[in-house]
Amino acid sequence: MATLESQTIIDALEQQFPGKVVAVDHPYDFLTITIAHGSIKDVIRYLYNEPSFSFRFLTSCCGMHYPDAPQKFAMVYHLHSFTTNFRIRLKAFTNEDPPVFPTLTDIYKGANWMEREAYDFFGFRFTGHPDLRRILNMDSLEGWPLRKEFPLEDPFRKDKDDAMFGR
């Protein structure tokens, strides 16, 4: 098994995508690279196809909401290379509302349900997604329950007596 170093990946991405690597961090010794929003799919496709990296497994992708930050929405991707046993975290931020990212379903089939989950809970849109609809919540749910502005309690419930909860 080949040994892969973080700096090798960083150097390759900075050379292949000049100006598109926004930030690099190593929280808890985990390589985390922030990529310019418009380049995230090209970077992931490169990491997938480049034989020395072979990031062929999408461990997870999820949406994030930072309402008070300069960039309010982010997609976070965790990739794994089985040939080098190396993991990487990629982030891309946007202020668009609704947030729009390119789908990864043509690279990773497993991205289908993960992207649907980001849509279902945060309202993220994925251009080119084959079946973008709610996956866990009811179709009638209005809003995006994991966004910070979503009410913590369901305002439509009539069966809940607040007096039972000391309120």
Mean pLDDT of 2-28: 94
**Could you say which architecture CATH assigns to the domain 6-165?**
2-Layer Sandwich (3.30)
Q: 149: closest CA among 65, 64, 73, 71?
A: 65
Q: What is the pTM of this model?
A: 0.89
Q: Strand ranges (DSSP E) for the chain? A: 21-25, 32-35, 57-65, 73-81, 86-94, 100-102, 125-127
Enumerate the domain spans of the chain: 6-165
Mean pLDDT of 89-110: 97
Query: Considering Cα of 76, then 118, then 54, then 57, what sign does the dihedral take?
Result: positive
User: Which amino acid appears at position 150 of this protein?
Assistant: F
As beta bridge partners, residue 61 has 77
Q: Which of 88-92, 141-145, 153-157, 160-164 has the highest mean pLDDT?
A: 88-92
Between CA 146 and CA 120 the distance in angstroms is: 9
Q: How confident is the model at residue 1 (pLDDT cuts 50, 70, 90)?
A: very low
pLDDT tens-digit profile of 22-60? 999 999 999 999 999 999 999 999 999 999 999 999 999
User: Which amino acid appears at position 31 of this protein?
Assistant: L
